[in-house]
Amino acid sequence: MRAALLFAPKFKGKKGVMRILELRGWSIVSSRPDYVITVGGDGSILYAEMKYPGKPIIAFNFGELGFLAPNKEKDMEKALISVEKGRYSVDEREKLEFSVGKQKGEALNDVLVASSVIGKALRLNVAVGSHKLGQFVCDGVLVATPTGSTGYNASCGGPVVEPGAAVITLTLINPHLSKLKSIVLSGDETVSISFARQNPGITVVADGLKSVRASHKAVIAIRKSKEKARLVRLTDSYFAKLRGAFT
């Protein structure tokens, strides 16, 4: 087995993890891994997917809740044995792709369109496919996958969506004088965002990791990606995590 390792910055047990892998005969590599092993929180998984897109991710939680990291770091050897014996399943998670002119990117959780200037609201037009949704004054727009619905989307008042649902969510961030806050869309739709007035700076952010600057003349398109993330699942823990976080 060939595995790439990614650790949260605060994790202090790197040598111990590497020793466990070496004793079990796993090779630690930086390119072309069979699996990516993360020890951290959801941010570590998002980074792993961005660095090694499509590779199966075995995630171990170190820290707080962590929706995407169901396994505990202390159970690592037990989990590796399950993987070696094929006693696991792979959850394929939908991703998003966005385009800003010739610039493109992908996200597992969400794509945020916001002002680059703190405290500066945007006046923007939002369309879903060929249908105009409306013009809004708000701090930004967040488009999220079901996987990302429990993250920034939920913090902004958006709905929590079961990971296997074939939908995307669109949530307005602090909309001014708008009764519309969030909407659940078919996963086949494309969200288009344009701007009704000049802005000093607009940023498109994928998973909080990759950012692209956009002109106020740009049209930003966000849709479901053809690619998927692959998360190794050893136990059924999603609804248990959901109960712990929201009930």
Active site residue 91: no
- Confidence (pLDDT) at 244: 65
Which residues constitute the domain of residue 8?
A: 2-87
173-183 pLDDT, tens digit per residue, is 999 988 899 99
> Is residue 172 very low, low, confident or very high in pLDDT (cuts 50, 70, 90)?
very high
pLDDT at 69 > cutoff 90: no
Residue 237, domain member (yes or no): no
Catalytic residue among 34, 42, 91, 236: 42
106-155 pLDDT, tens digit per residue, is 999 999 999 988 888 999 999 999 999 999 999 999 999 999 999 999 99
- Confidence (pLDDT) at 233: 87
Residue 172, domain member (yes or no): yes
Backbone torsion region of residue 208, taken as left when φ is above 0, otherwise alpha when ψ lies between -120 and 50, otherwise beta = left
Q: Is 18 helix (H, G, I), strand (E, B) or coil?
A: helix
Rounded Cα distance between 124 and 8, Å, is 36
> Is residue 243 very low, low, confident or very high in pLDDT (cuts 50, 70, 90)?
confident
15-41 pLDDT, tens digit per residue, is 999 999 999 999 999 999 999 999 998
Contacts of 72 (CB under 8 A, 6+ apart): 60, 61
Number of domain units in the chain: 2
Let me know whether 137 and 71 are in one domain: no
Rounded Cα distance between 49 and 100, Å, is 21
Let me know whether 12 and 70 are in one domain: yes
Backbone angles phi, psi at 128, to 5 degrees: -120, 110
Residue 238, domain member (yes or no): no
Let me know whether 184 and 107 are in one domain: yes
| DSSP-assigned beta bridge partners for residue 193 | 126, 220
Let me know whether 181 and 128 are in one domain: yes
